[in-house]
Structure formats: C-alpha cells, structure tokens
Amino acid sequence: MSNFGITVLGTASAVPIADRNPSAQVLNVHGRLFLIDCGEGTQQQFRRFHQSFLKVEAIFISHIHGDHCLGIFGLLSTMAMYGRTAPLSIFAPRSFGPVLKFYMSYFGEDLSYQVEHVALDAKEPKEIYRSGELVVSAFPLNHKIECFGFRFCYKERYSYAYCSDTAPFPELAQWVKDVDILYHEATYTRAFADKAGPRFHSVTDDAARCALEAGARKLVIGHYSSRIRDISQFESECKEIFDNTVAANDGDVFEIC
C-alpha cells in the first residue's frame, strides 16, 4: 500500500477520447483517499483502476469547467448507493455552490451523508485542510475563470502539487518550490502554441520551465489536447528543458514516498 502517492484517472483535456478520460486524480495517504478534480466518467475510472468510493475523505475541484467537475453528480450518487454515511467536504471555487445546489435540489434527498462545499478564496498559497500528517494548501492559477491549484504536504517532508488549467505566470514556480512531484498541465505542444494564450493554457515549455524554476524533483504532465494523439511529443519537448518528465497515461501511479 502506498504511503503517499497519486493514481492518475484522466489525462484528456476538454474532449475525452477512447483511451483518455478528462481530469481526475486520486491521492492515496496510507489508504485514505483524496480526489482531485472529477471530470466526466470519473466513477468509471474508479472501477477500472480499483479505487474505493467509500474511502474518499475529501474532494478538491480546481474549477468548474466541465472536464474538471461533470463527474461529480454520478460519483456522489454512487457513494450513497454504497451506503456512505461519513460527511464529505468538497473544496471548490465559490462558483461550484450553484452546481452543488442544483444537484441537491433534484437528487440530494436520497443521499445518506452530508455534503459540505468549502468555498476557496486565496490570492496566494493558503492552508485549506489539515488531517493528521496531511496538510493541503490552495493557490490561484491563471485561467479564464476562477481556478485553483493544490499542494499536498505529508509529514512536512513530502509534497505533491497539482496545477491544472493555467497560463504561465511568475509566482507559480515559487508557490510549488521544491515539490517532490509537480503535476502541470501541458495542453499543447510547441506546434500549437498559438492556441494556448487565448485559452489560458500551457504548452510543454511552460510546464517544464515551471518545474525547473521550482526545483521540482519530478514533472508529470497531462491534460493533452485531442489534436495530438502521440503523447511522446509532449514528453520529449519537456525533457529538453526538464529531463525528469513523465507524460502521464490514465491509470499511471506515482509514488511520492
């Protein structure tokens, strides 16, 4: 069993493809699970990669674009069907509030547990959750809508940072400084760099430079555009700047300690 590690459930961007689901990851801390983003089909990925619905202690949603949150309705309902009784906190932008309210108004009466939305509000890294030896901080990203990244620190010695949809900005490398594993979106390769700016996304070079400037131990990339099916292009471009880069596939597991 992992002491502290990540299972990647989805590596696609806005459009899911046959072998890639939208964004979702599970952080495992000694068998305690924490879900990061919840794109469409996340509960199917739970099944596929042998994750427990009932062991999820909290959910962290970066923003409310569909490829990061549309799986939440099915997941919440399935947790109830499995008899969950433990309260569930969802850390998400304020804009998630009406989304959850809609779900609860139509489907919430059958839930067997309490769901709490903890609205994120941070202009710089801010602690939002602490449980045992796990501390979670949130920080703002540079996207079209309000969007947050997360840093998970375990035993004050090990850390994992999740940077979903974002255009590059100077403070980010400092906010994820010295992280053991940095997950950074790399939606586009250099050939499609003209697409990144207007959409507030990153290209391979942006992710690699952030990892290099932060002094990260490893860079994991994902959130690939459906225009590019050969992900080795993403990895090779990043490696030119930051050698210890892995282009993630759905189902990949990364052990932090």
Lookup result for tokens 């990851």: 25
Q: Give dist(CA 195, CA 224) in Å, integer.
A: 13
Q: Give dist(CA 65, CA 39) in Å, integer.
A: 9
For 103, the token pair is 């779900």
* 8 Å CB contact between 125 and 137: yes
Q: Give dist(CA 56, CA 70) in Å, integer.
A: 17
Has 67 been annotated as catalytic?
A: yes
- Considering the candidates 37, 67, 180, 206, report the single residue annotated as catalytic: 67
CA proximity to 6, closest of 33, 30, 27: 27
DSSP annotation of 254 reads: E
Q: What is the 3-state secondary structure (H, E, C) of 4-58?
A: EEEEEEECECCCCECCECCCEEEEEECCEEEEEEECCCHHHHHHHCCCCHHHEEE
CB environment 172-207: b (16+ within 10 A), e (fewer): bbebbeebbbbbbbbbbbeeeeeebeebbbbbbbbb
For 36, the token pair is 């990061």
DSSP annotation of 249 reads: -
Catalytic amino acids? 67
